[in-house]
Every structure is written in C-alpha cells, then in structure tokens.
C-alpha cells in the first residue's frame, strides 16, 4: 500500500506539471542523477534565467509516466530504458546524449564501523552478519534493487537477506534509511550514497559482481522547446561540468 501511495504522489506531481508555465523546461529524470542534475539546474537558472519543471522517479515509474503520454522536453534515464523508448519512435532522432555511468556501492551510517566488502565472499559475509539491509524495492522498478536481488540469488543468500530487508522507493531513500538508523547497511548507486548527509560510502561492490548503469538523455518529439533542451544538454556535457560528474561518483560513458 505504501508503494502504491508513493507512486500516486509521484504521478500527481508529474501530471500537475501541466499547469506549469509554458516557459518552464520540463525535465523528467531517473533518481540516480537527481542531486547532480538538480544542482546543475540551479546553476543554469542563475546563468541564463531559464526556469525548470523537474520531476524524478525510478525506472519503473519513468516508464509508466512516459508511456502515459506525459509531456517532457528532456528525459534523463538509464541506458536500457532509453533503448526501450527509442524503439517507440517517440524520441527526436539524433537527440540522445550519453552523460555518465555509475556503479553500485555499500553504505553504512556515518561513524559506524565499515565492514570489509573488498571481495565477493566478504561482501556476502557483511550482508549475512548485518541485522538489516536496505535496498531499492525491485517491484518499484529500481535498477539497483533489481540487480542486487539477482546478485543475492547467485550468491545463495536471497532468502536470508529478504527476511531482514528494508525496502525503499529509491536509492536516495535507501541511503537515508541507513543514515537515519533504520537499516544497518545498504546497497545502492554510489551517487545516491554520496548525496545523503550522514551516509558513508564503504566501497563499490567487488569488481566480479559490480554493475555499471549508463545514464543518458534524449528529447521527446512532444517537446515544446527542443532548442532550449539541446542547450541545457550542452551544459550538462560541457567540460566545465566534468568535475561535478566525477565528484558525484560517475565515470565517463563508454
């Protein structure tokens, strides 16, 4: 019930954007880049005076919103979802721009002892020893949560972790659950850990089980201001913004 209520709030917020000023650039984004993009939006607003209508959600929520016909000038989402959207024919040709890729990390509360997660076996032990494990609810469509469940199944500990899982609507909420003491340890995108006060990145997942998600942008054909959207994308991908992507945990696209 809580997940459904949260999604309805998100949907109402998104659909409520229809009443926003026509001058607003409507940007719909995945949660893993929310803090970074929000900061860049503020900078761009100060530099240009451009106003924005910025909405966020998990991959599953974005899929539902975009397929519902919600108008947007720019979408920022994971590579796999963008590939789905490209097949619909609803995106402006040659408007895709790859932004950066992010890995998954382990989070504990600031000041807490950091477990050893340097190897697959030590990562497995850390999860088994933890009293509670926070991660994005895979049924909400969260990319990192879906991937983690697959890893846990391969490691043979899915059932044990499920019993003590603290499921959250997104990566930011996962990091906040750990920072707030509602979970002992968490697993989510590194960018969402670094953005939460009181959360400490222990380390990325071991290389053998690490997964990088590419985030990319494109302009829907329904955009009412594609020229402004392209200008904003140029800002996001400019050399001046490269240090900010790196500080947020992102690597250049490959």
Give pLDDT tens digits for 31-63.
889 889 999 999 999 999 999 999 887 777 777
pLDDT value of residue 5: 40
pLDDT value of residue 142: 80
Judge whether residue 128 has pLDDT over 80: yes
* 220 shares a domain with 94: yes
On whether residue 253 sits in a domain, the answer given is: no
On whether residue 162 sits in a domain, the answer given is: yes
What's the CATH code of the domain at 226?
Answer: 3.40.190.10
Count the Cβ atoms, other than its own, within 10 Å of residue 130: 18
* 143 shares a domain with 90: no
Angstrom distance (rounded) from CA 99 to CA 114: 31
pLDDT value of residue 254: 80
On whether residue 254 sits in a domain, the answer given is: no
Provide mean pLDDT across the span 136-150.
90
* 76 shares a domain with 30: yes
pLDDT in tens, 185-240: 999 999 999 999 999 999 999 999 999 999 999 999 889 999 999 999 999 999 99
Angstrom distance (rounded) from CA 172 to CA 191: 9
Provide mean pLDDT across the span 112-128.
97
Angstrom distance (rounded) from CA 72 to CA 14: 10
* 238 shares a domain with 205: no
DSSP labels for 196-251? STTEEEEEEPPGGG---EEEEEE-BTT-S-HHHHHHHHHHHTSGGGHHHHHHTT-B
Angstrom distance (rounded) from CA 126 to CA 155: 13
Judge whether residue 165 has pLDDT over 80: yes
Q: Using DSSP bridges, classify how beta strands 165-168 and 25-30 pair: parallel, antiparallel or unpaired.
A: unpaired
Provide mean pLDDT across the span 62-72.
75
Expressed as residue numbers, the domain containing 178 is: 104-209
On whether residue 77 sits in a domain, the answer given is: yes
Structural domains in the chain (count): 2
* pTM (2 d.p.): 0.82
pLDDT value of residue 23: 82
* 241 shares a domain with 192: no
On whether residue 186 sits in a domain, the answer given is: yes
């Amino acid at each position: 019930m809580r997940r459904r209520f949260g999604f309805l709030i998100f949907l109402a917020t998104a659909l409520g954007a229809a009443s926003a000023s026509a001058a607003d650039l409507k940007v719909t984004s995945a949660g893993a880049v929310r803090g970074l993009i929000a900061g860049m939006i503020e900078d761009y607003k100060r530099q240009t005076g451009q106003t924005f209508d910025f909405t966020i959600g998990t991959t599953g929520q974005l899929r539902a919103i975009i397929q519902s016909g919600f108008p947007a000038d720019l979408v920022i989402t994971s590579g796999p979802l963008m590939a789905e959207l490209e097949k619909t024919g609803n995106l402006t040709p040659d408007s895709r721009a790859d932004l950066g890729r992010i890995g998954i990390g382990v989070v504990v509360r600031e000041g807490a002892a950091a477990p050893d997660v340097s190897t697959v076996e030590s990562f497995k032990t850390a999860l088994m020893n933890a009293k509670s494990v926070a991660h994005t609810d895979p049924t909400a469509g969260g990319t990192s949560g879906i991937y983690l469940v697959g890893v846990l199944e391969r490691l043979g500990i899915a059932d044990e972790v499920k019993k003590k899982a603290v499921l959250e609507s997104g990566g930011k909420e996962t990091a906040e659950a750990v920072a707030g003491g509602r979970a002992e340890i968490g697993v989510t995108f590194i960018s969402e850990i670094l953005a939460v006060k009181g959360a400490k990145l222990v380390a990325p997942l071991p290389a053998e089980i690490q997964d990088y998600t590419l985030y990319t942008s494109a302009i829907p054909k329904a955009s009412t201001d594609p020229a402004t959207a392209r200008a904003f994308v140029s800002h996001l991908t400019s050399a001046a913004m490269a240090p900010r992507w790196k500080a947020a945990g992102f690597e250049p696209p490959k």
